[in-house]
Amino acid sequence: MKKVSILSLHLGYGGIEKSISSLANILIQKYEVEIICTYKILDEAVFYIDPRVKITYLIDHGPNREEFKKYLHKHRYLSAFNEGMKGYKLLRLRKKTMIQAIMNNDSDIIISTRDIFNEWLSLYGKENVLKIGWEHNHYHDDMKYADKIVRSCSGLDYLVLVSNSLNAFYKGRLRNSKCKTVFIPNVIEYIPKDEQISSLQEKRIISIGRLSPEKGFMDLVKIFNIISNDYPDWHLDIIGDGVEKEKLIKYIKDSKIEEKVTLHGFRDKEYIYEMLTNSSIYLMTSYTESFGIVLLEAMSCGLPCIAFASAEGANEIITSGRDGYLIKNRNFSAYIQKVEDLINDEKIRKKIGHEGRRTVKKYTPDMVGKEWFRLLEEKW
């Protein structure tokens, strides 16, 4: 049995971490699988990982970024300096331990999930190892970031991209490199049965994600605030945690919509699917989104989805007007109109939701797994 190692920064909250867990669960069916993590930020991985997968942590704690920011914010500059020195030493330790792990690795295949790991894998990976980069982030017109990814992949065999548009972009940028690009989408591990999906009868709107600026949750609550004036009996549920939580709480209180909006914090898969099946519309307001696995989760439960077209990953998933709606130019008025159309027309909700269920079938572990196995077995 051949062995695969996946290089990860950590196994906490995040889309990349969820994708790593899903991939490990797929690959363990045919390979011996190890996840090599730089940081152990939690006692257990957030997302389910098959117990047959070996997890190795290189550093038994997480980075100290939040401590540094806390002291800096409080103007405790000596403490901030000390934390900064700790952080610098931690970065050196991160590099040393990961390079050692790559050099001593006995796997046949190594998959890197960060640009810095790409560089180290290119430089220190054994010659007979199949070296693969896996890029989840969209460059979002940041050419410096795109160039950094290209440089990091120069010594790899393949770069896996999670969208067709990213694959086309990096294929052109890497045309003079030995590194070949491959499009393989992310996977949705669980699809409810027909009898388990939402009835679309509840007057509830839902959104899920990290509460950070690029996810656009402030725009979401502003949009909902307008909608709730005409539809006061509809409720908004937001599942997730992050740096914008307090800012969102303040806006919700100032707007006097506390009884219409619930912030649930981070929740497990069971809780999320229960909430999805008790909702009728899914809204995404991200400024940028590499893939958009939450859209697939909502679609799997039969929910019609609306997203801004600025969320690049949403464009890969949604065919606007068929299995959801994409709103161009972050046009609030157009977005609100589509939400209200769905609120007012149950038949449209069910039609869009039904088509979304069909779309999701392209992203099952069986379908996505075939693409990964085809890639990993090509060399052998």
SS3 125: coil
Q: Read off the pLDDT of each residue in 50-71 and give the average, rounded to a whole number.
A: 89
Can you tell me the distance from the alpha carbon of 227 to that of 316, in angstroms, rounded to the nearest whole number? 27
What is the residue-averaged pLDDT of the chain?
Answer: 93
Q: Which residues contact 73 (CB under 8 A, 6 or more apart)?
A: none
* Span 194-362 CATH architecture: 3-Layer(aba) Sandwich (3.40)
Of residues 379, 363, 378, the one with CA closest to residue 26: 363
Of residues 112, 119, 125, 105, the one with CA closest to residue 20: 112
Per-residue pLDDT of 168-205, as tens digits, reads: 999 999 998 999 999 999 999 889 999 999 999 999 99
Whether residue 1 is predicted with pLDDT greater than 90 in this model: the reply is no
Query: 108 pLDDT band (50/70/90 cuts)?
Result: very high
- DSSP letters of 271-330? HHHHHHHT-SEEEE--S--SS-HHHHHHHHTT--EEEETTSHHHHHH--BTTTBEEEGGG
Q: Read off the pLDDT of each residue in 327-347 and give the average, rounded to a whole number.
A: 97
pLDDT value of residue 122: 95
- Specify the range with the lowest mean pLDDT, choosing from 20-29, 66-75, 143-152, 315-324: 66-75
Torsion of CA 106, 107, 113, 118, to 10 degrees: 60
Write down the domain spans for the chain.
3-187+364-378, 194-362
Per-residue pLDDT of 210-265, as tens digits, reads: 899 999 999 999 999 999 999 999 999 999 998 999 999 999 999 999 999 999 99
Can you tell me the distance from the alpha carbon of 348 to that of 281, in angstroms, rounded to the nearest whole number? 11
**Count of H-run helices and E-run strands, the chain:** 14, 13
Report domain 3-187+364-378's class.
Answer: alpha beta
From residue 323, give the alpha-carbon distance in Å to each of 200, 298, 299, 332, 336.
15, 11, 8, 20, 18
Per-residue pLDDT of 128-174, as tens digits, reads: 999 999 999 888 888 999 999 999 998 999 999 999 889 999 999 99
> What is the pTM (predicted TM-score) of this model?
0.86
Q: Read off the pLDDT of each residue in 319-325 and give the average, rounded to a whole number.
A: 95
Can you tell me the distance from the alpha carbon of 345 to that of 317, in angstroms, rounded to the nearest whole number? 23
User: Comparing 3-187+364-378 with 194-362, is the CATH topology the same?
Assistant: yes
Question: Is the torsion defined by CA of 359, 362, 366, 369 positive or negative?
Answer: negative
Torsion of CA 89, 91, 96, 102, to 10 degrees: 160
